[in-house]
Structures are given as C-alpha cells and as structure tokens.
Amino acid sequence: MKGKIEKLIINALVDYNEELENPAYGNPDEKTRLYSSEGGMDSIALVGFIADLEERLAVEFNKDIILADERAMSQKRSPFLSVQLLANYIENLLLESEE
C-alpha cells in the first residue's frame, strides 16, 4: 500500500507543480522534500497541496482522512517534510481507520 500512496503523492505533486513551477519538483521521488526550508514549498503552497491530497485519498481509498490532525501538528518530525514521511503517515492513518 505504501508504494501506492507514494505514487499518489508524487502524481499530486507533479500536477500541483504546474502551478508552483518549483524546479525541485521537476522529477519528484520518495526523497523529495515537501515543506522544507531547503527548496520545498512554503506554508501557503503546502496548505493547498494538503487540501488537494486529501481529496485524492478520499477518491482512491474511499476514506475521508484529515491530514493536518493533532498528531501531525505536534510530531517532532513533521510528516510534511518529505514524500516518504508523508506516505508513512498516511499509511498509518489509513490502517487506523480500518480498525
């Protein structure tokens, strides 16, 4: 499932980058930085990206997931740092919602 989530994030990033035009997202992979001081998105771009991603997840997995929940906001290492961390985080949310 993790691979599928990563792919979904990467696809979303490629589409979103048509608007952002950030060279760092030219050819994204799982290591690509998202919200980060090193060439990633700023907070305004991140908010738009998260909104878009939530909707894609709802369509793909038929689950209404909120990405910016309390845990995400209070984690020491933000899940929004990279594609990989975000994919891990989403996988956990999806597994939990199945319980």
Binding site for other proteins (CB under 8 A): 44, 47-48, 51-52, 54-55, 58-59, 64, 66
CB of 31 to other proteins, least distance (A): 27
The CA–CA distances, whole Å, from 30 to 74, 93, 98 equal 23, 18, 25
Instruction: Assign 75 to helix, strand or coil.
Output: coil
Nearer to other proteins, 16 or 84 (CB): 16
Residue among 58 and 95 whose Cβ is closer to other proteins: 58
Going by the DSSP 8-state scheme, the letter that residue 78 receives in this structure is: -
Nearer to other proteins, 49 or 89 (CB): 49
Helices (H), 1-99: 2-20, 43-61, 70-74, 83-98
CB of 54 to other proteins, least distance (A): 7
